[in-house]
Amino acid sequence: LLAQLDEQKDDVEQNIPKDVLDDIDNNRNPNRSAKARVENTAVQNQFVHSQLLAVQSYRGFLREALVENFPDMAPFLDETRMDLAKHGGDVVRMHSHFESPTHPL
């Protein structure tokens, strides 16, 4: 089947994933493979989401501990800078003490 499709490839304008062609060539239903890929992606997504939540929780605990032990640093530990969820998941650049002229050294 792959040989026949290879001969006809110039007539087809759409890209067909090789996995789909392999499934068809091996007499497997490509919908099952697609369903398995979607389910696997969902599981991986949940795992990554839980990791992000763990990092955000750690950041909260870290901020609380830093503010408690170093109260003068509280203005530089702005919660909005440390919370990824408030920034749509974008990485927020945190300023170092070298960039801030008002840092209490």
Tell me the pLDDT tens digit for each residue of 86-103: 545 554 444 444 444 444
Supply 78's token pair.
């702005």
Supply 44's token pair.
């991986």
Name the band, by pLDDT with cuts 50, 70 and 90, for residue 53.
very high
Q: Are 85 and 56 in contact (CB under 8 A)?
A: yes
d(CA 33, CA 15): 17
Length of the chain counted residue by residue = 105
- Residue 16 phi, psi dihedral angles, 5° rounding: -115, 125
Q: Are 21 and 5 in contact (CB under 8 A)?
A: yes
What pLDDT score does 12 carry?
Answer: 77
Average pLDDT over all residues of the chain: 77
Name the band, by pLDDT with cuts 50, 70 and 90, for residue 33.
confident
Q: Is the dihedral of CA 95, 98, 104, 105 positive or negative?
A: positive
What pLDDT score does 41 carry?
Answer: 93
* Between 5 and 68, residue with greater pLDDT: 68
